[in-house]
Amino acid sequence: MKNLLLSTLLGLSAMTAGAQMVTVQSTTRLLQGVEGPAYYPVLNSDGSRLLFSSDGGSLKVYDFADNVVTRVTDDYVAGNDAFFGGDGQVYYVTQQAGKDHLLYRTGHAYDPVTRQKRVVLDAQHGAVRPAAATRGAALKSAARSYASSASIGTAVWTQGSKVYVTVNGQDRVFSPVDSWAGYLWPTLSPDGKRVAFVAAETGIVVIDLRGQVLAMLGRYEMPSWYDNNYLVAQHTTDDGRQFTSSQIVLLKADGTFKAELTRPSSMTMQPTAGGGRIVYTTIDGLLTEMRIQIDE
């Protein structure tokens, strides 16, 4: 654990490419001594709140201003099935095995201000796909779906090798690059004008709202928009059985620039960004906040 933290801190240096420079200004351990291992961090758009999952899959939210952790649910929430909607609410999907030994998934909404939660999509067998939106959220399923309002704004989700973009209430479906293993981790830029996702064999793809490919950023995973021009992502290697390295990188959305924010040996992963904050965890579940400065 000590070596992992040291490796992370070694990233506190300036990185340049042409006229651009990125400086890691600080790294701060979050919830040290307060929480156990934490994974799948998700920041809201202004960076004031942080969702994360415990080692056992329960979901919690941390308020930076109040320095308070609130337990949202003890039920199992899969890694990427919790997110903030554009309305500030938390949406998440729990799953349980039924008497028939099939998995059933239930959609929930949680208000971090009132700490009230409610079921928004009754238990059903089959995949339930989260869709973050500029004015709310949706949960998509072949059987039944949910939308937080009649007009959720621009939204994005993936199914197989298709990316769905909702604009003005209409769904647009694109398959801009070949991928037999499918698309993952769709994310909408803060201004709602571009979508990034991962095509399993290709890496991160950036498209506009009409499905036109704007950039191919390389073989990275779990992209999160830092602002309208940059994304953070993880870069991992493995030997077929386990990770051999993992680091956080900063990528310019047009594909012209990359900077390493942590070292490959740091085993840092699962980055999220919002409000100028970057938060990530390690293979051991150590949450860390990073602040950077970009000079162009």
169 in helix, strand or coil? Answer: coil
pLDDT in tens, 116-171: 999 999 999 999 999 999 999 999 998 899 999 999 999 999 999 999 999 988 99
Tokens representing residue 16 in the block: 């340049």
pLDDT in tens, 174-201: 999 999 999 999 999 999 999 999 999 8
Average pLDDT over residues 75-88: 92
Tell me what pLDDT residue 8 has: 42
Tokens representing residue 144 in the block: 């039944």
Does 13 score more than 50 pLDDT? no
Residue 154 CA to residue 166 CA, distance in Å, equals 5
Given pLDDT bands bounded at 50, 70 and 90, which one contains residue 99?
confident
Given pLDDT bands bounded at 50, 70 and 90, which one contains residue 2?
very low
Residue 11 CA to residue 249 CA, distance in Å, equals 11
Tell me the whole-structure pTM to 2 decimals: 0.92
Tell me what pLDDT residue 19 has: 56
Does 64 score more than 50 pLDDT? yes
Does 1 score more than 60 pLDDT? no
When comparing pLDDT for 99 and 244, which is higher? 244
5 in helix, strand or coil? Answer: helix
Does 11 score more than 90 pLDDT? no
Tell me what pLDDT residue 10 has: 43
Tell me what pLDDT residue 20 has: 82
Range 131-134 contact pairs with CB under 8 angstroms and sequence separation of 24 or more = 131/155, 131/156, 131/157, 131/164, 131/166, 132/83, 132/84, 132/85, 132/86, 132/156, 132/187, 132/188, 133/85, 133/86, 133/166, 133/188, 134/86, 134/188, 134/192
pLDDT in tens, 225-261: 999 999 999 999 999 999 999 999 999 999 999 999 9
Given pLDDT bands bounded at 50, 70 and 90, which one contains residue 55?
confident
Within 10 angstroms of residue 260's Cβ, the number of other Cβ atoms is 17
pLDDT in tens, 22-40: 999 999 999 998 899 999 9
Helix (H) or strand (E) holding 4: helix 2-9
